[in-house]
Structure 1
Amino acid sequence: MPPPDLLDQLRTRKLITGSVQFEPLFGGRTNMVWKVLGESGDTVLKLYRNKLRNPMFRNDAHLEALCLRAFEQDGFVPRLQATGQHQGDAWVLYDHAPGRPWESGTAQVASLLRKLHGSTVDLPLPSGRNGSADLARHGAELLALCSSSLRDRVTAMRPEDPVPPTKRTCLIHGDPVAGNILVDGSNLTLIDWQCPAIGDPCEDLALFLSPAMQHLYHGAPLAPDERARFLTEYGDPETVTRYDALQPWYAWRMAAYCLWRSENGSTDYEKGLQLELKALEDRAISE
């Protein structure tokens, strides 16, 4: 159950009325989330845990609220109902989106991300990582937080080919993994907007295609034909070519992140680390 004083706050604001039930949702890995089953419709309550600092993914309730409001008319985000504070942590309440976490059909996801990246919505968002030098710095920051013997192995596998920053930045979701994409027939909904940015669209492509993230949220990495279909259906050859050049850098940084997570108690990231290292090795062999 949510904290009693938070429930009192929601009732005072008439955001929950009458008889309601709460079902914990366990798809997220940072915040506390409940499905609220109410007489007038189901909602989702997310209580941010801002004391948990993640060096890869920002966790900002204000940014999530901004994006939900901005894209409310576009049909691919839940409708925001309210935001607030509870004992120093933020919370958001939004309509429950129908559907199940994404399992198959990469073309649908590619079309959704292309639509997002083509948006003209102007929001005051932080800048994303852009170019290989930026990714190299970020990966080094992550590895500096690690202490196991694997740190040296990951460090040694850092790519060498530089890729300059792009001027074609846009609004990116920042965490479009399978668990954050709900599918209801032909309709897709993007949830968990706590780390959007103005950045390189390749960042979103890399996160969705990441072997580690697909393993964690989908059960297995994508097959080669699924990856190819995704990149074809995205429909922007210039961005796809850029992603291909940056892919080793994204894999290396993700390996560093998986090592950090596994060293901090998330043992399910150990397999993700091995998958990203294999992706780096396979790329090196192919070249």
Structure 2
Amino acid sequence: MGHMDGLRRKGALPPHLRKRLFVRLGIPANVQVEQLTGGRSAKSYVLADRKNPLVLKIAQTRTGDPLFPIRPRVEAAVMQNLAPRGLCAQPVDAFAYGTAQCLIYHYLPGTSRAVPGPALARLLRKVHETQFPHRHTLPQSADLPAPLILRARAFLADHPNAQNLMDAIHSASQRSATAGQSLLHGDPVPGNVVMNGSHPMLIDWQCACLGDPSRDIAIAISPAMQVIHDRPPLSHDQIQVFLNAYGRPDLSERVKMLSPARHAAMIGHCLWRLDQGDTAYANALTAEVAALENSVLDHALKQE
């Protein structure tokens, strides 16, 4: 969910939450509230009639699916550390609200539709190379969640090229045995990066964790994640430009090596979202299956 100019509608907050905001931060009860559209895992509002607008994000404390677990408390802690480094917005407050968690941070004017791929690649490398204190407080990434891989394999069982797809997924999964200790954003999709002037910044850090940097890269270039944010899948050349901008050939090779398994995990995620009634993921699923097919075909051609 990006802070995209124009994608707002009038919002309303319960009186007791408005009172809570006044008591904690002195925010007037009659503050103008605009809801940001586009969020799938949380509701976000701009507290607009202020010299320095704030964002109020309300997220349910739940796990989400294995690929994108939702951890609001982790988000607040990570943003507190990264904001002074210019990697995200400055948080203001965080507190429990019933079964949900509220996070308040400074609004980032800008758009997530104009962020070039190379800018995101360079930003992700900065995140991955950040020395985060208290690393023991961050969860470890589930790089290739077994439930999603199994779901994808079941879905692909009737595919005309099923055996080759299964073999490629299995082979890539066997090569993924690395814990990885880099700080990951966890959800670096187009809607979560904002071009603030000439400076890209990331929002929505609730999936932050420690893990293999190639995981973040795979999500950033995932066809499904492009489609679900109303963009066409990246071309082969665009993906290569992204990888070149990141600037680590060893990691680029790892992204390619693990791509069948990562596509399978994303296919499993799309199926999970469809089970939740999110029909927008139907086209995303089709795009990710096509990418898996192309990945397996490319690998077969290289072996000839």
Output the aligned Cα RMSD. Answer: 2.1
Amino acid at match of 1:65: A
Q: Deviations over 1:207-264 (max 9, x none)?
A: 1000000111142111222111100010111111111101111101101110121122
Aligned to 1:101: 112
Aligned to 1:117: 128
Change (3 A) 1:271 1:199: same
Q: Distance in 1 between matches of 2:103 and 2:97?
A: 11
Q: Is the 8 A contact 1:119 1:171 kept in 2?
A: yes
Alignment equivalent of 1:160, drawn from 170, 187, 205: 170
Q: Deviations over 1:144-167 (max 9, x none)?
A: 9xxxx8464488644132314236
Q: Distance in 1 between matches of 2:33 and 2:286?
A: 37
Q: Deviations over 1:18-61 (max 9, x none)?
A: 75211111221011111111333101001112357433311111
Aligned to 2:142: 129
Amino acid at match of 1:216: I
Q: Distance in 2 between matches of 1:169 and 1:244?
A: 20
Q: Deviations over 1:73-108 (max 9, x none)?
A: 111201000011111211000000121114451110
Aligned to 2:191: 179
Q: Distance in 2 between matches of 1:219 and 1:126?
A: 31
Aligned to 1:42: 53
Amino acid at match of 1:26: T
Q: Distance in 2 between matches of 1:250 and 1:17?
A: 47
Residue 243 of structure 1: SS of its match in structure 2? helix
Q: Distance in 2 between matches of 1:142 and 1:11?
A: 47
Greater shift in the superposed pair: 34-43 or 164-173: 164-173
Aligned-pair distance for 1:129?
A: 2.7
Aligned to 1:70: 81
Q: Distance in 2 between matches of 1:139 and 1:275?
A: 17
Q: Is the 8 A contact 2:67 2:145 kept in 1?
A: no
Tell me the number of residue pairs that the alignment of Structure 1 and Structure 2 aligns. Answer: 279
Q: Is the 8 A contact 1:173 1:196 kept in 2?
A: yes
Calculate percent identity across the aligned residue pairs: 30
Normalised by the length of structure 1, the TM-score is: 0.90
Aligned to 2:7: none
1:217 corresponds to 2:229 = yes
Aligned to 2:97: 86
Structure 1's unaligned 5+ residue stretches are none
Alignment equivalent of 2:241, drawn from 229, 239, 263: 229
Q: Distance in 1 between matches of 2:68 and 2:178?
A: 21
Amino acid at match of 2:294: D
